[in-house]
Amino acid sequence: MKYLVDRLGLPRANLREVAAAQGAKVALWCYWMNESGDRVPDVPDDIRAMMEAMGGTVEIDEYR
């Protein structure tokens, strides 16, 4: 997730407006391997706060 933050220049207060002006919608999915099944999914607090500040949401959906 830190890679996406750096690569996309986040947080961007105008991200929603830029996307809307282009007729686009933005969605990001991040996956990680958990072959042992013992990893607890977690999103760092700073990433959650950034997403909320930009009007986004963080959802964790585990595929088993």
| pLDDT number for residue 22 | 94
20-to-27, 38, 53 alpha-carbon distances in Å? 13, 40, 17
Query: What's the pTM?
Result: 0.59
- 64, pLDDT greater than 70: no
Q: What is the pLDDT of residues 20-34, one digit of tens each?
A: 999 998 887 777 777
Q: How far apart are CA 11 and CA 9, in angstroms?
A: 6
CA distance 53 to 11: 8
Cis bond before residue 44 (omega within 30° of 0) = no
**Would you kindly state where each structural domain of the chain is located, as residue ranges?**
2-53
For residue 50 the two structure tokens come to: 């950034």
For residue range 11-61, list pLDDT tens digits in order. Answer: 888 888 888 999 998 887 777 777 887 888 788 898 888 888 888 888 887
Q: Which amino acid is at 64?
A: R
